[in-house]
A and B are shown apart, each in its own frame.
Chain A
């Protein structure tokens, strides 16, 4: 019965008031017996003051409880990723609690960062031995052991994909957990296009970007880079000459379209290439994994990716992401 704070406060104040009333009663009896003339006038004043005090007490108690309501709202926004820490002014009794809460959030973020760094080190630590194995396979192939070489090469590729995939997942899961991510889409796209122009320098590509200013996605920068990087790289690989990046915001969802004028993809392959481990073309290594990571990252953040026919005749990637 005494489980809610409000009930406890009420019970406590009723008990307190009852005690006080008894004392006051005794006191007033003494006063009336000593000065009988005071009786009539004082009773009206007493009723009025009593009502005023009760009302004031009620509002004070109510105000006393509002910090909890605020706290709940702030915590909800921390959870939703709008704020990194519990903020606002609170009464002295609650303050240590808030500090503890923020300390907890901080240590949780630190341990996620550590776990992520460990995952990264593990992934990169595996890459060098894998590179050595891949070279060994090539060496075997050059000595005529084609079948063994092929098996090793395939397994190395599988392991590499697994490592990349799990690393991307770990990063996405951790940034989902820390929550406060926001990235300007144009920033990410510009950096990537700068890099892609160099990486595809052997080809003459025209890349146009049409993004509304201030378009911000609720994603970690690394993850938006990974998503857009894979999509843009695919577009650059397959485009005949033009790639177009455009974006639009509607409500809480932003949609980014990446169009190329390449050969496109037959409808039956458009969903298949987004599945893990499926490649549209064996001649373009890694493209399948790239798209699977794109899909996984987008979905981890509550977004989605679809492949369609582009008005430029090639492929259109339609990426939906939550707005920050």
Chain B
């Protein structure tokens, strides 16, 4: 799962990025509207956290532009402008959720999880595949009740496949959703992580559908 944080206050962006990375997300940050716009068209995101008062291009303008050009990922507005009039304007511009500053990081994390869940159509906070369980609140993976330790890339792959369990995920899409923008993608191939996942969770946990991509399998 990959998140874009658009926030000009570097301390807030930094803290959010740290917490989100700890919770198992690949995170990109943009400090102004122009940079955000560039990243938005370049990357594939599962959620975008958007501040409204931004240098260069303001948040609502960005959001309207993204929606007009067909970008569909869920957007959570994070802003100091918390009046109801502004909330309605934000939602009408295409936002999916709205959090007013100051916020608690846990609240933002909970809303990010909820947005991802809603988008993927999952109804429960626990995702299952056979004996495998992922609790999205705690980012913990258990196999038949036993906790399994995963590295962050292994976790992202597993989480993405579980959130899209009803279809085959192309390799390129998987790559887009597990790496942050500035990450050197060549040195860590998806195949390596999937091999490690199979070692830890059993060979059947991820199916390779030849020529198409990957699908979560029943363990």
> B154 → chain A, closest Cβ, in Å?
24
Given that A130-B101, A199-B97, A201-B118 are contacting pairs, would A230 and B80 also be in contact in the complex, using a CB cutoff of 8 Å? no
- CB <8 Å contact, B85 and A127: no
| CB pair B91 A131 closer than 8 Å | no
Interface size on B, residues (CB 8 A): 29
Chain B residue nearest in CB terms to A220? B85
Q: Is the beta-carbon distance between B84 and A225 smaller than 8 angstroms? A: yes
A195 with B91: CB separation less than 8 A: yes
**A124 and B81 contacting across the interface, CB-CB below 8 Å:** yes
> Which of chain B's residues have a CB closer than 8 A to the CB of A156?
102
A123 to B82, CA, bound (A): 10
Nearest-CB distance from B118 to chain A (Å)? 6
- Chain B residues near A124 (CB-CB < 8 A): 53, 80-81
User: With A133-B102, A194-B91 in contact, is A221–B85 under 8 Å at CB?
Assistant: yes
| B64 touches A (CB below 8 Å) | no
Query: Please, what's the 1-or-0 string for B62-92, where 1 marks a CB less than 8 Å from any CB in chain A?
Result: 0000000000000000001111110110111
In the complex with contacts A124-B80, A132-B9, A202-B118, A192-B101 CB distance below 8 A:
no
Q: Which residue of A lies closest to B78 (CB)?
A: A131
Closest to B9 in A: A128
- At the interface, yes or no: B139 with Cβ under 8 Å from chain A? no
Which residues of chain A are near B106, meaning CB under 8 Å?
138
Residue B212, interface by CB 8 Å: no
**CB neighbours of A191 from chain B (8 A):** 88, 92
B85 to A131, Cβ gap below 8 A? no
Provide the B92-119 mask, 1 if CB < 8 A to any CB of A, else 0: 1001111011111110000000100010
Does A135 lie within 8 Å of B88, measured CB to CB?
no
Counting residue pairs across A and B whose Cβ atoms lie within 8 Å, the total is: 88
The one of A135, A199, A221, A225 in contact with B15, judged by C-beta atoms closer than 8 angstroms, is A135
Contact A195 B88 (CB under 8 A): yes
Q: Which B11-43 residues have a C-beta within 8 angstroms of A?
A: 11-12, 15
> In the complex, which residues of chain B have a beta carbon less than 8 angstroms from the beta carbon of A221?
85
Residue of A127, A194, A198, A202 touching B80 (CB-CB under 8 A): A127
Kindly supply a per-residue 1/0 record for chain A positions 206-228, scoring 1 wherever the CB is within 8 Å of any chain B CB and 0 otherwise: 00000000000000011001101
Given contacts A128-B9, A134-B104, contact A195 B87 (CB under 8 A): yes
Contact A226 B83 (CB under 8 A): yes
Residue of A130, A135, A199, A225 near B85 (CB, 8 A) is A225
Q: Are B91 and A198 in contact (CB under 8 A)?
A: yes
With a cutoff of 8 Å between Cβ atoms, the chain A residues found around residue B118 in the complex are 201-202
**Min distance, Cβ A270 to any Cβ of chain B, angstroms:** 22
* Contact (Cβ within 8 A) B105 A135: yes
Bitwise interface map of B from 116 to 147 toward A, beta carbon under 8 Å scored 1, else 0: 00100000000000000000000000000000
A133: which B residues are within 8 A, CB to CB?
Answer: 102
Counting contact residues on chain A (CB < 8 A from B), the size range is 20 to 34
For A195, the closest partner residue in chain B by CB is B91
The complex places the Cα of A156 from the Cα of B168 at a distance, in Å, of 47
Cβ of A127 and Cβ of B101 under 8 Å apart?
yes
- With contacts A192-B84, A201-B118, A202-B118 taken as known, whether A128 is within 8 angstroms of B101 at the C-beta atoms is yes
Smallest CB gap from A135: residue in B: B15
- Contact among B53, B85, B102 for A226, CB-based, below 8 A: B85
Give A286's nearest chain B residue, CB to CB.
B100
Residues of B contacting A228 in the complex (Cβ-Cβ under 8 angstroms) = 84
A132 / chain B contacts, CB cutoff of 8 Å: 9, 11-12, 15, 102
Residues of A close to B96: CB separation below 8 A: 198, 201
Do A131 and B103 touch (CB < 8 A)? yes
Is A229's beta carbon under 8 Å from chain B?
Answer: yes
Instruction: With a 10 A CB-CB cut-off, give which of A194, A195, A229 has the most chain B CB atoms.
Output: A195
Are A138 and B105 in contact (CB-based, < 8 A)?
Answer: yes
Is A192 within 8 A of B88, CB to CB? yes
Q: Residues of B at under 8 Å CB distance from A?
A: 9, 11-12, 15, 53, 80-85, 87-88, 90-92, 95-98, 100-106, 114, 118
Q: What would be 28 A-B contacts, judged by CB atoms less than 8 Å apart?
A: A124-B53, A124-B80, A127-B101, A128-B9, A130-B101, A131-B101, A131-B102, A131-B103, A132-B15, A132-B102, A133-B102, A138-B106, A139-B15, A164-B82, A191-B88, A191-B92, A192-B84, A195-B84, A195-B98, A199-B87, A199-B91, A199-B97, A221-B85, A222-B85, A226-B84, A226-B85, A229-B84, A230-B84
Beyond the given A195-B98, A226-B84, could you list 20 further A-B residue pairs with CB under 8 A, ordered by the A residue number? A127-B101, A127-B102, A128-B101, A131-B12, A131-B80, A132-B15, A134-B103, A135-B12, A135-B105, A138-B105, A164-B82, A192-B84, A192-B88, A195-B87, A195-B92, A199-B98, A202-B118, A222-B85, A226-B85, A233-B84
The 5 A-B pairs of least Cβ separation, nearest first, read A229-B84, A127-B80, A131-B102, A195-B91, A131-B101
